[in-house]
Amino acid sequence: MVGAMPYVRSRDGHSLFVRVVGRGEPCLMVHGFASDSRSWLPFVAPFSGRYSFVIPDLRGFGKSHGAALRRACPLTQFAEDLEDTLAALAIPSLPVVGISMGAFCTVQSFRLFGGERFSRYLYVDQGFVIRNHAGYAFGMLGAAQAVFFTRLRALLSELEPYLHLPWADVPRALQSEFWSLLGEFAAAAFSSQPLAALVSALSRRERFMRGQLPVEQWQSYINIVRAYLELDYDLRPGFRAIDVPLTVLIGGRSRMYPPAGQRTIAALAPHAVVHEFPEAGHMIPYEAPRAFLRVLDTFLAQSR
């Protein structure tokens, strides 16, 4: 299976890209928002001689960009796609690693399908609730959420008349605001100021951004953002369905999801093993790569 790059068919007839790397027992790797399967390659490479990594491009991203979101809830769509992918590859059960939105949709999979396909779960820096509310201030972006969400809502309102049109027909000012907000969001994934500044600078280069995020189905990004703004996402009850070994990684300086909120995992899933990386932000693999690889190595070995 080394280097295999199959497409699988989803239940609604779309082709979904799945990168398969390595040889040996399989492990599913699920990427986050504004990313794709390539983001995992540096971290699975050291283990590719012992394990086979199944790394899908989630619907709307990477080589699955052409598969439009059909459900109002993207997490449900992604959970269904993971089921279809593993069924197509005839993999009955395997360990799973999910980061950010990838971790969120995997919890949704446990909630909807009982997690029968997953033998072990490595959950990487994802809050349990998206929107802040009275009594809960640990949602996406923490204290900075209100201002950022207000700007997002304004942009969505302005983009509404263009959602049925190609990206080229969207006014340049709205395109620029879209890339700017996306760049700010991506920069918040890093605690390192140099890395955050680099991400912000790259986001101003449209050619680079379009290489990472194709725009043929640009509406998919809008649908995901709208769901995060409008749906009352709270997957804390979903953790009750996780009865397999669970490892949780928390970025001690995560600006995306305040660590204080993530630490409540002890009450949600008492069997979870928690590792906190004091100097890392949301993107733990990139900001604490050696420590992340050690945890991944242990996680993979325990899954055998």
- When the pLDDT of each residue in the chain is averaged and rounded to a whole number, the result is 94
Residue 87 lies in a domain: yes
Residue 117 lies in a domain: yes
Amino acid (one-letter) located at 32: G
Domain stop point among 189, 213, 230: 230
169 and 224, same domain (yes or no): yes
Count of the separate structural domains present in the chain: 2
Is 5's pLDDT higher than 70? no
39 and 176, same domain (yes or no): no
Please write the tens of the pLDDT for every residue from 142-151.
999 999 999 9
Residue 2 lies in a domain: no
**pLDDT-derived band at 199, boundaries 50, 70, 90:** confident
Phi-psi region of 34 (alpha: psi -120 to 50; beta: other; left: phi over 0): left
Is 183's pLDDT higher than 50? yes
115 and 156, same domain (yes or no): no
Domain stop point among 230, 247, 273: 230
The answer to whether 261 touches 138, Cβ cutoff 8 Å, is yes
14 and 123, same domain (yes or no): yes
Of 111, 146, 140, 136, which Cα lies nearest the Cα of 126?
140
The whole model's pTM is what? 0.96
123 and 146, same domain (yes or no): no
53 and 126, same domain (yes or no): yes
From the CB of residue 249, how many other CB atoms can be counted at a distance below 10 Å? Answer: 27
**CATH of residue 13:** 3.40.50.1820
Buried b (16+ CB within 10 A) or exposed e, 153-191: eebbeebeebeeeeeeebeeeebebbbebbbbbbbbbbb
Domain of 198, in residue numbers: 142-230
Three-class secondary structure of residue 29 per DSSP? strand
252 and 222, same domain (yes or no): no
167 and 194, same domain (yes or no): yes
The continuous run of DSSP H or E covering 123 comes out as strand 118-124
Domain stop point among 173, 199, 230: 230
46 and 22, same domain (yes or no): yes
Three-class secondary structure of residue 219 per DSSP? helix
Please write the tens of the pLDDT for every residue from 211-226.
889 999 999 999 999 9
Residue 179 lies in a domain: yes
